[in-house]
Amino acid sequence: MGLKETLQTDLTEAIRGRNELTSGTIRMVLTAITNEEVSGKEARKLSDAEIITVLSREAKKRREASEAFEAAGRADKAATEKAEGEVIAKYLPAQLSEDDVKKLIAAAIASTGAAGPGDMGKVMGVLKPQVAGKADGGMVSTLVKAALAGGN
């Protein structure tokens, strides 16, 4: 069973269990997946890897919204966004630790022969498929910059 089918099954269970937070969040995610499938010139079914990309984007939206509500003093809204993010996180692969990302960066720098900040694109090109959905892109970018600048 694919990821989309798992989401649809879990949605049915959440509706039966009257779990409004989970059912609402899964509906939102399924809508985002459907929108992605029908965007462009022709409709197509997304692979699980593409669905993980959509889930990562949705989780990032929830994280950013939670931070914005927190900064605005709306703790109730921030808590709701954070809870939605936790529901989405259940469907994402396990996140890589910072140390794991640093090891991948070191291997990518060695394999590309990157020598300085100008080679960041090469390193990120190698890293992106390895960390997709498993690590925050901002953190990866910051760590790559630090590694290429000479720090570690």
Q: Which of 139, 116, 140, 142 is nearest to 128 (CA)?
A: 140
Query: Given this model, what pLDDT does residue 152 score?
Result: 47
Q: For residue 93, what is the DSSP state?
A: P
Residue 137 backbone class (left: φ over 0; alpha: ψ -120 to 50; beta: rest): alpha
Query: What's the pTM value of the predicted model, to 2 decimals?
Result: 0.71
Q: Tokens 């600048």 appear where?
A: 149
Which pLDDT tens digits describe the chain residue by residue (152 residues)? 788 899 999 999 999 999 999 999 999 999 999 998 888 777 788 888 888 888 888 988 999 999 999 999 999 999 999 999 999 989 887 777 888 888 888 888 888 887 777 778 888 888 888 887 777 777 888 888 888 777 54
* HSE toward the beta carbon, residue 55, CA cutoff 13 A: 24
Q: Which domains does the chain have, with CATH numbers?
A: 3-89 (1.10.1510.10), 98-148 (1.10.10.410)
Q: Which of 148, 118, 135 is nearest to 52 (CA)?
A: 135
